[in-house]
């Protein structure tokens, strides 16, 4: 026993000496570590703690956004598919202004698929990246008309065969237009929110989606996607997030301010903010 204690003491002494001999961090290294620590919040230790955080987030989201909805205005799956493709690198407000003109000119997938490229470009130009978007929605229209009987497909496998449609767009259309639970929509807002909340450390949207699907109940996946998007759009913004007014403040390792009032009061404020599309304060 004495020999073992002596050996352990020697090991601790050697480790201490090794740490003290390590070269001090440079200013550049310190800055890099600080940025890394800030950009990726520490995850709770153990899956139980992580699930407890997700459960608390879910509870507060239910109060703040009891009936969340997609802000892209649409009349059906085809409208929503076109709108979602057009929304890339654009805003929902811009797409909502443009979409009625698009649907008036090209009301069906077949009409869109048969339209000249330059005609579609002219209508969608204000949404940005209009050449690629026009090409994508024209080809999607042609495929829907020719391969799916004029109806936007209802499975993840089939809908992601369409140009311009990855999992994010597919989840929006399948969940919102058809009520099909296929996953959780992860756009730039949802990605930012989930990372700030420490629910994931991933950066790839599909990997983030997988983490979130493990933490939230399947029956809440569609609404959770909407809630993440809307929360990121109106509260947890990229710049100057409203941490003091955020109902998730106590659950967020990235919070930059102390919470104001009860979380229920903050949830009611977010509800007004979302329902007014950011106009209520």
Q: In terms of residue numbers, what domain contains 106?
A: 77-178
Rounded to the nearest 10 degrees, what angle do helices 92-105 and 77-86 cross at? 130
Residue 108 in any domain: the answer is yes
Residue 111 in any domain: the answer is yes
Residue 112 in any domain: the answer is yes
Residue 5 in any domain: the answer is no
What's the pTM?
A: 0.83
CATH of the domain at 107: 1.10.340.30
Residue 110 in any domain: the answer is yes
Answer yes or no: 133 catalytic.
no
Candidate list 168, 204, 211, 223, residue with the active-site label: 168
CATH of the domain at 210: 1.10.1670.10
Q: Are residues 241 and 157 in the same domain?
A: no
pLDDT at residue 54, as a whole number: 97
Is residue 190 within 8 A of residue 221, CB to CB? The reply is no
The pLDDT tens digits for 135-158 are 999 999 999 999 999 999 999 999
pLDDT at residue 41, as a whole number: 56
Task: List, for the chain, all residue ranges whose pLDDT scores fall below the cut of 70.
Answer: 1-46, 281
Residue 39 in any domain: the answer is no
Q: From 178, 209, 225, give the residue that closes a domain.
A: 178
Candidate list 187, 204, 211, 271, residue with the active-site label: 187
Q: Are residues 167 and 197 in the same domain?
A: no
pLDDT at residue 45, as a whole number: 57
Q: Are residues 117 and 62 in the same domain?
A: no
Residue 35 in any domain: the answer is no
Q: Are residues 81 and 64 in the same domain?
A: no
Is residue 272 within 8 A of residue 67, CB to CB? The reply is no
Q: From 142, 160, 178, give the residue that closes a domain.
A: 178
Answer yes or no: 168 catalytic.
yes
Q: Are residues 161 and 136 in the same domain?
A: yes
Is residue 74 within 8 A of residue 80, CB to CB? The reply is yes
Query: How many domains does the chain contain in total?
Result: 2
pLDDT at residue 280, as a whole number: 81
Q: Are residues 163 and 241 in the same domain?
A: no
Q: Are residues 245 and 168 in the same domain?
A: no
How far lies 185's CA from each of 75, 154, 191, 271, in Å? Answer: 20, 16, 9, 20
Q: Are residues 204 and 168 in the same domain?
A: no
Is residue 83 within 8 A of residue 74, CB to CB? The reply is yes
Q: Are residues 56 and 193 in the same domain?
A: yes
For 73, the token pair is 């205005």
Q: Are residues 105 and 58 in the same domain?
A: no
Q: Are residues 117 and 191 in the same domain?
A: no
Is residue 211 within 8 A of residue 199, CB to CB? The reply is yes
Q: Are residues 203 and 114 in the same domain?
A: no
End-to-end CA distance of the chain: 69
User: How many residues does the structure list for the chain?
Assistant: 281
Residue 63 in any domain: the answer is yes
Q: From 154, 178, 202, give the residue that closes a domain.
A: 178
């Amino acid at each position: 026993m004495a020999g073992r204690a002596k050996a352990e003491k020697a090991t601790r002494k050697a480790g201490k000496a090794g740490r003290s001999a390590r070269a001090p961090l440079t200013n550049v290294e310190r800055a890099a570590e600080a940025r890394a620590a800030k950009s990726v919040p520490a995850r709770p230790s153990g899956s139980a703690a992580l699930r407890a955080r997700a459960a608390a987030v879910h509870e507060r989201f239910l109060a703040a956004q009891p009936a969340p909805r997609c802000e892209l205005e649409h009349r059906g799956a085809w409208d929503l598919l076109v709108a979602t493709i057009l929304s890339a690198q654009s805003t929902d407000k811009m797409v909502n202004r443009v979409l009625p003109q698009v649907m008036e000119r090209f009301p069906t997938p077949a009409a869109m698929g048969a339209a000249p490229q330059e005609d579609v470009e002219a209508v969608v130009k204000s949404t940005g990246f209009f050449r690629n978007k026009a090409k994508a929605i024209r080809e999607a229209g042609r495929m829907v008309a020719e391969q799916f009987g004029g109806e936007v497909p209802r499975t993840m496998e089939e809908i992601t065969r369409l140009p311009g449609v990855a999992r994010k767009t597919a989840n929006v259309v399948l969940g919102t237009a058809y009520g099909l639970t296929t996953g959780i929509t992860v756009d730039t807002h949802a990605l930012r929110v989930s990372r700030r909340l420490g629910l994931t450390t991933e950066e790839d949207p599909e990997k983030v989606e997988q983490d979130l699907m493990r933490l939230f109940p399947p029956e809440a996946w569609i609404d959770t996607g909407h809630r993440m998007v809307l929360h990121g759009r109106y509260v947890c913004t990229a710049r100057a997030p409203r941490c003091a007014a955020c109902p998730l403040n106590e659950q967020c390792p990235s919070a930059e301010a102390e919470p104001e009032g009860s979380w229920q009061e903050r949830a009611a404020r977010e509800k007004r903010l979302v329902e007014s599309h950011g106009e209520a304060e």
